[in-house]
Chains A and B, each alone.
Chain A
């Protein structure tokens, strides 16, 4: 009872990275809280699925396996979590801030009247004193996220309602195997107890999933552009530099909103989180939400016409000037001085 639950997403028999990252974080939090870490896996064809989650330190793995439970639709997965949480009364429930987690989380939180915080960039355990009510709360989950366009950082708590729910984007937490043979209990749930026929009213007729073609997350160098790049045309310069350096191209939300780059290249709180060896920020002002997705880069170069761009405070190198002048010079030097 009152343990920490992680909802695990599965696609084609593989548990999503974000779920393994949350199990890793959940393991640390559960140790601090002295409670158990429990994973919930809902889907179809889940034979041996526990082998993928146990190494990350799950004390209990709940599995509910039925052909109708994949691909994901909202109602059946929500029904499982709602009933399971009513039985088990977790103190914390975490899920990925993915299309699935962001569809499922609010539905579950509404049914249980529990608080949910989206897109957390950090989770911590701490106390809270409510001076007005004269009450002290021990060991709450601090759900930390940028808000208001990234201009503030908010610490959110759910003092009275359980579970304390939060979603976290892929790549924000690190995944770490703690023990391939971690002692764990597997609990197979009976589908009929949790899901009713009416939960299948929404049907998927057709699905076209594409494997992500670009791999910004895994790139060791990222050349990233912001609104200051000025146009889709100018973004080509970034691709040229990336091509020469063997890098991937990323973009800030402002650049994506302006149509300079595709959404799948967006780096930041509502996009991808990257930790490359080198991050070259071109014409990016550096809203906190963008910083949340790249500030752990080992080295950062900022190229910006504004010498006071906020991102410059993160940078190891600040180049003040126009990218159309600077990037060709970088390409030229690199071509002349390697190989």
Chain B
């Protein structure tokens, strides 16, 4: 069987899962600047499913597409270390303030520039928003079918794919024609770790912008080793209608944001001492809350 052309949609996200004490400012709000930027966890599951197809079907290529600021090139390198063949960083101030719909528009217009593809695989959702909207919206904009919440690709043959979906209340096996977009759950296998050889191969992979800031010593590499070039695309390289982009292209607007500042209730405070626990339990039993 002929190799597939796979695009993995990935996002660099602040690690909101572990907001430690040092990430809290004195006023009780979060200092986003100190949160580490990571490869969105379910996008790593998506990458793993793509790499498994590549393992299975020779000639398959896996390209990571991410939209974000310049530093998001970091996750493309991370993907290359794990087995991806290439990556595109879509970056431009014109995309700033995009909601999920404007993001999907920019991504789908970029995909149209990337030529024919068989499969787009994305994480179900990103941990900084948990919306799970970009995958289905990209599929709609490209006019292709979507299969969401996938945990395993069971079979690919004759231009169609069989996959198992994990739902809240069970599993479902579906068959769908290619081209197709899949979104992947965290119940899918974890992504393989970095491969030492690939790490050596790609550690100097850079975008054009990054190269401008890089040490002169390595610049000679990029002519002789084109694979070290991480493709960077801006709004100028895609066909787009300006009023569909960024803040203007986003139907949803943030009216107001409130930082969560916790107001204390008057709680009874106890320690692990027997007496306190016993009094508490007695109170709960007497008031029929328990028992």
User: Which residues of A pack against B, CB within 8 Å?
Assistant: 71, 73-75, 78, 98-99, 102-103, 105-107, 109-111, 113-119, 128, 142-143, 146-161, 201-212, 221, 245, 253-254, 257, 263-264, 269-270, 277-278, 286-288, 298-299, 301-302, 307, 310, 312-322, 325-326, 329-330, 333-334, 337-338
Q: Which residues of A contact B14 (CB under 8 A)?
A: 148-149
Q: In the bound complex, do residue A313 and residue B16 qualify as a contact, i.e. CB atoms below 8 Å apart?
A: no
Closest chain B CB from A317 CB (angstroms)? 5
- Once bound together, how far apart are the Cα atoms of A203 and B173, in whole Å? 9
Interface residues as binary, B183-204 with A (CB distance below 8 Å gives 1, 0 otherwise): 0000100000000000000000
A-B CB contact pairs (8 Å), 6 listed = A109-B137, A113-B251, A118-B133, A156-B254, A209-B167, A318-B269
Chain B, residue nearest A310 (CB)? B262
**Which B167-186 residues have a C-beta within 8 angstroms of A?**
167-177
Q: In the bound complex, do residue B29 and residue A337 qualify as a contact, i.e. CB atoms below 8 Å apart?
A: no
Q: In the bound complex, do residue B174 and residue A205 qualify as a contact, i.e. CB atoms below 8 Å apart?
A: yes
Q: In the bound complex, do residue B271 and residue A155 qualify as a contact, i.e. CB atoms below 8 Å apart?
A: no
Chain A, residue nearest B41 (CB)? A257
Q: In the bound complex, do residue A107 and residue B136 qualify as a contact, i.e. CB atoms below 8 Å apart?
A: yes
B132 close to chain A: CB less than 8 A? yes
Q: In the bound complex, do residue B146 and residue A103 qualify as a contact, i.e. CB atoms below 8 Å apart?
A: yes
Q: In the bound complex, do residue B264 and residue A312 qualify as a contact, i.e. CB atoms below 8 Å apart?
A: yes
Q: Which of B49-57, B97-105, B215-223 contacts A (4 or more CB under 8 A)?
A: B97-105
Q: Which residues of B contact A118 (CB under 8 A)?
A: 129-133
Contact partner of A113 (CB less than 8 A), chosen from B101, B174, B176, B285, is B101
Q: In the bound complex, do residue B250 and residue A115 qualify as a contact, i.e. CB atoms below 8 Å apart?
A: yes
Q: In the bound complex, do residue B267 and residue A107 qualify as a contact, i.e. CB atoms below 8 Å apart?
A: no
Closest chain B CB from A70 CB (angstroms)? 13
Q: In the bound complex, do residue B251 and residue A161 qualify as a contact, i.e. CB atoms below 8 Å apart?
A: yes
Q: Which residues of B contact A128 (CB under 8 A)?
A: 255
Task: Check A334/B267 contact, CB under 8 A, given A103-B136, A159-B253.
Answer: no
B236 close to chain A: CB less than 8 A? no
B111 close to chain A: CB less than 8 A? no
B1 close to chain A: CB less than 8 A? no
Q: In the bound complex, do residue B290 and residue A316 qualify as a contact, i.e. CB atoms below 8 Å apart?
A: no
10 closest A-B pairs by beta carbon, nearest first, are A149-B16, A115-B251, A321-B272, A115-B252, A161-B251, A209-B170, A106-B133, A110-B140, A106-B136, A110-B137
- Once bound together, how far apart are the Cα atoms of A6 and B249, in whole Å? 26
Give 16 A-B pairs besides A319-B270, A320-B272 with Cβ atoms closer than 8 angstroms.
A98-B168, A99-B148, A99-B149, A107-B140, A115-B101, A117-B131, A118-B132, A118-B133, A149-B127, A153-B258, A156-B255, A206-B173, A207-B173, A313-B265, A317-B280, A334-B290
Q: In the bound complex, do residue B265 and residue A314 qualify as a contact, i.e. CB atoms below 8 Å apart?
A: yes
Closest chain A CB from B175 CB (angstroms)? 5
- Once bound together, how far apart are the Cα atoms of A301 and B175, in whole Å? 48
- Once bound together, how far apart are the Cα atoms of A154 and B260, in whole Å? 10
**Which B112-154 residues have a C-beta within 8 angstroms of A?**
127-137, 139-141, 145-149
Closest chain B CB from A269 CB (angstroms)? 8
Chain A, residue nearest B253 (CB)? A157
Q: Which residues of B contact A319 (CB under 8 A)?
A: 269-272, 276-277, 280
Closest chain B CB from A202 CB (angstroms)? 4
Q: In the bound complex, do residue A210 and residue B170 qualify as a contact, i.e. CB atoms below 8 Å apart?
A: yes
Query: Could you say which of B133, B135, B258 has the most chain A C-beta atoms within 10 Å of its C-beta?
Result: B133
Q: Which residues of A contact B146 (CB under 8 A)?
A: 74, 103, 107
Task: Check A208/B170 contact, CB under 8 A, given A320-B269, A326-B272.
Answer: yes
Q: Which residues of B contact A116 (CB under 8 A)?
A: 100-101, 133, 252
B274 close to chain A: CB less than 8 A? yes
Q: Which residues of A contact B141 (CB under 8 A)?
A: 110
Q: Which residues of B contact A321 (CB under 8 A)?
A: 271-272
Q: In the bound complex, do residue A315 and residue B255 qualify as a contact, i.e. CB atoms below 8 Å apart?
A: no
Q: Which residues of B contact A151 (CB under 8 A)?
A: 16, 19, 29-30, 259-260
Interface residues as binary, B1-36 with A (CB distance below 8 Å gives 1, 0 otherwise): 000000000000010110100000000011010000
- Once bound together, how far apart are the Cα atoms of A117 and B167, in whole Å? 21
Closest chain A CB from B102 CB (angstroms)? 10
Closest chain B CB from A198 CB (angstroms)? 10
- Once bound together, how far apart are the Cα atoms of A245 and B100, in whole Å? 45
Q: In the bound complex, do residue B260 and residue A337 qualify as a contact, i.e. CB atoms below 8 Å apart?
A: no
Q: In the bound complex, do residue B268 and residue A154 qualify as a contact, i.e. CB atoms below 8 Å apart?
A: no
Q: Which residues of A contact B19 (CB under 8 A)?
A: 149, 151, 287
Q: In the bound complex, do residue B104 and residue A154 qualify as a contact, i.e. CB atoms below 8 Å apart?
A: no
Task: Check A270/B130 contact, CB under 8 A, given A205-B174, A337-B281.
Answer: yes
Q: In the bound complex, do residue B99 and residue A115 qualify as a contact, i.e. CB atoms below 8 Å apart?
A: yes
- Once bound together, how far apart are the Cα atoms of A119 and B130, in whole Å? 8
Q: In the bound complex, do residue A316 and residue B262 qualify as a contact, i.e. CB atoms below 8 Å apart?
A: no
B224 close to chain A: CB less than 8 A? no
Q: In the bound complex, do residue B162 and residue A205 qualify as a contact, i.e. CB atoms below 8 Å apart?
A: yes
Closest chain A CB from B178 CB (angstroms)? 10
Q: Which residues of A contact B258 (CB under 8 A)?
A: 152-153, 155
B263 close to chain A: CB less than 8 A? yes
Q: In the bound complex, do residue A202 and residue B127 qualify as a contact, i.e. CB atoms below 8 Å apart?
A: no
